Structure 1
């Protein structure tokens, strides 16, 4: 099935809508907001994990894949959400965490009891000379192996020590996971997002990494394509309309083509994160650096061109629950808040691929701007706060880094209105509300020129314009210091997309790129985030953070 006319909306359940006043978002809360999502025009709702979990990593540490965590509601709540969403033309996508389970999972608990069957569900190794089996680093800091005294062995955890990596070499493990996918398909689930799925295939030999943190040994591992084909064949591949997306950590274009090319029968599309590391200083996330605009464009161009050439399919996104808010990161969330939010949306939605909207993005939610470590909840952020303190960074600098880079920037509750509790809860929210500009969904819904209304128009353009759905991609003005411009083409029809990423006025010449002047018949404005098109000396004048989408007919 072709998904190129679809738009996916991501819901971080814990922060979306609280229906019972306990300060935590829940499934019934999502159901109560379906009319809002229908009005936006999205097709699928991707829910972050709602399964039973100790919540050490906000649900990405799953203790039971077939049961709903009581903090989110009941199985009946989810079944009702699936039914009500379907009535409105929306499918539900679940987030499956198959690289690891919680150490509270029954499988791991049986492993700790010495049950050989379940011990082989995980990766246990002997240490070397009193040290862990390898020097690999956890994604959350520290060594990636945890010692178990009763076995005199270590288990692998690429993430938190309460998230033990599964042993995909074990056929029984793979069958368990396929059965879990089929269980949810039978409940009426329409798709799946697979968390860090390209890390599931570990090497035959576990060895120290003298060059890095170990990821080169297990990223896009030796049997990853075999495993994904098997997963496809034994579960969602039996239903052609199931949408799947794989989160790919530190991946390569070559592998992502294989993951997402329909002929490979693995996944519908992939997430990659290379474009979200352009503000890392020498690859270090926990640093402060202005984003490198040229690098951002080069990465987009490399992936768009490569995926197009080999028929791969990309998920298009800036925001998610693991990323800071893009309007604060690459935009200007103060003076040009509305303009930059719309421009950034345009720059990503018009590319070749399938766009994802992260909750609150559609009305311009910003970073949290917390001023104390006590306001943070994310395990990665609190871990790195301590690491940076031990490295000698002053408190003020650490908090500045967290304000820019913490995952909690994307996890603050949705600001539905300006009342107490912000329309999210009648209780105390599990994490404080963002302290940025005063924005809310209600405010945007009542404005004709709002960010929300602009997202509606972008979604409508995708659904009605075959060039945007199926057209080729080509970058223009590749080395321009401020503009990201590209053209989509299908046959003789074209769509020209111009984005100014900065607050200085820039000009784009239609003539120099072979386009005729703007008129009402063949070259017309499809959408802009400014009220009127500005043309000077036969050039399109792009004002601060302006976006222009132009349709060109033969």
Structure 2
């Protein structure tokens, strides 16, 4: 059973919390987070005040890419529990008023998936048609595409055929022109919807369809993220929209469910296509994530995101971090400066109209961790010959309590990634006792966002502000958010001060601080 009010578009102003499952809470002492660990910490998520969860993949997988290489999309990997554990989690979350959304990985499978194993064993029987196999060209790969994880996007088999993998060689890309692929995807959607999930996050939502002739890419595009005009046929092919229409047709049969796409497309008109009424409900717009800590750049990112949402007629979707990017406390300067700026940006983000996704640990102000070479597990590190450190630094398990690792994350002694001893002051236990902590700031901000009448209205207007600063106002409710990204204090505008990311003196906003006001 779903949360009451299932016929509403509850996600329009929801605060989602991304749970990186293997790093949230370990219930059985093996050093890896699991579904029962999440269930046991639902009280914390209630206290934080979030509306919904996004769970990263927990499906059966050999874990070459920590679950994004799926061998069975309709079962739980024993590392994380079983279907009964998932059902318990959903039931208790719904009882607490928290909705549950899960990741889907439709671009590729694991090389251990039964389909790919059949393809390896049966070259001429048609099994390879479910994937993208091609003969080579000039004794090399079929085209010049490169993998997001580094190196060629093609791997050659001993029989001479090549198969495509936009990510690791152990993640072969599916051929979405094949009817079996579409039918199996629909079966997976219905399997989890019938178990009560409230929606999905679609991984690589801009990447499933490929042009039939697989033309060469402009290698200058590389793996660049963000706006550019270079030819990159690996992504954003028009055929992807028919796949999202399939998703929407199924979801429309389950009132109160939704889908959000991971869409690394920054052209506003192209991105808006994914959000048409018969496609995805929401789409991550990563402009704010990509923006530097600079008032002009941040304002430009906000405006562009709002424009895209308005063009599509949907709510904007905001996030500052996830399991693939450097945490904001490090990205904005590291150390005390980065932590201060990350607190300010939390108010900027949570003050905006629309949907907010928080990455687990952001509410604790966790920084990235420099993971030693011996502990690194990200395939990016190995495919790049150690040149790319990978994403493990933002995936270190959460510290819950105590004075030394594993800080209550696990009843065992060795979490899957090492935890720094200096996190003793960042534990949930420590921060709950400190009214000035980052966790306390997030709790207050989320509560105000949910309950204060100033947080209404879908449009913004900008105030004039000193250099290095900005101030926006929510039309309708009247919330004012002011950010001082400069080096000197600035006066606050008129209004009742609701919350600030740091101490104020005589209604002056210090550097690297944000404040909320209402009038």
1:136-535 correspondence to structure 2 within 5 Å: 136-150=145-159, 152-213=160-221, 216-233=232-249, 235-261=250-276, 264-278=277-291, 294-334=296-336, 337=339, 339-370=340-371, 372-387=372-387, 402=389, 406-420=390-404, 421-427=406-412, 428-434=414-420, 438-465=425-452, 468-477=455-464, 481-490=467-476, 493-502=477-486, 504-508=487-491, 510=493, 518=494, 523-532=495-504, 534-535=506-507
Counterpart of 1:393? none
Q: CA deviation at 1:278?
A: 4.5
Quickly say closer, same or farther: Cα 1:275–1:385, change in 2 above 3 A: farther
Distance in 2 of aligned mates of 1:476 and 1:385:
49
Tell me what 2:227 maps to. none
Question: In 1, Cα distance between the equivalents of 2:239 and 2:350?
Answer: 33
Secondary structure of 1:163 counterpart: coil
1-structure distance, mates of 2:375, 2:467: 37
Q: Which residue of 2 aligns with 1:396?
A: none
Change in Cα spacing, 1:258 to 1:465, as seen in structure 2 (3 Å) is: farther
The 3-state SS of whatever aligns with 1:45 is strand
Q: Secondary structure at the match of 1:423?
A: coil
Match of 1:288 in 2: none
Q: Distance in 1 between matches of 2:68 and 2:338?
A: 35
Distance (whole Å) between structure 1 residues aligned to residue 311 and residue 479 of structure 2: 19
| Cα distance change on mapping 1:217 and 1:335 into 2, 3 Å | closer
Post-superposition Cα deviations, 1:479-504, rounded to whole Å, max 9, x if no partner, equal x65324322112xx4221111235x2
Gaps of 5+ in 1: 280-290, 389-401, 511-517, 536-540
Once the two structures are TM-superposed, the CA of residue 209 in structure 1 deviates from its matched residue by: 2.0
CA deviations 1:25-51 (Å, max 9, x no partner) are 111111110001011111111111000
Q: Offset of 1:469 from its aligned partner?
A: 4.4
Structural RMSD (CA): 2.2
In the other structure, the counterpart of 2:73 is: 65
Partner of 1:134: 143
Query: Offset at 1:210?
Result: 3.7
The 8 Å contact of residues 5 and 462 in structure 1, kept in 2 or not, is answered as no
Alignment partner of 1:13 is 2:15? no
State the Cα deviation string for residues 49-107 of structure 1 (Å, max 9, x = none).
00010101010000000111111111111111011111100111110000000010011
Q: Following the alignment from structure 2 to structure 1, what is the Cα–Cα distance between the partners of residues 453 and 272? A: 23
How many Å apart are 1:310 and its aligned residue?
4.0
CA distance in 1, matches of 2:462, 2:107: 36
Instruction: Give yes or no for contact 1:327–1:344 (8 Å, CA) kept in 2.
Output: no
Structure 2 length-normalised TM? 0.90
Change (3 A) 1:310 1:52: closer
Kept after mapping to 1: 8 A contact 2:151/2:383? no
Q: Which residue of 2 aligns with 1:47?
A: 55
State the SS of the aligned residue for 1:209.
Answer: coil
Deviation string 1:519-552 (CA, Å, 9 cap, x unpaired) is xxxx3222212344633xxxxx220321111112
In structure 2, what is the Cα distance between the partners aligned to 1:484 and 1:384?
A: 40
Aligned length: 499
- What is the distance in 2 between the residues matched to 1:481 and 1:464? 32
In structure 2, the partner of 1:544 is 511
Residues 347 and 514 in structure 2, CA contact (< 8 A), matched pair in contact too: yes
- Offset at residue 205 of structure 1 (A): 1.4
Moved more, 116-125 or 467-476: 467-476
| 1:96 paired residue number | 104
Residue 36 of structure 2, aligned match among 28, 48, 56? 28
- List per-residue Cα deviations over 1:159-210 (Å, max 9, x = no partner): 0000011111112211110110100000111111110111011112112224
Per the alignment, in what secondary structure is the counterpart of residue 198 of structure 1? coil
Shift of 1:347: 1.2
SS at match of 2:252: helix
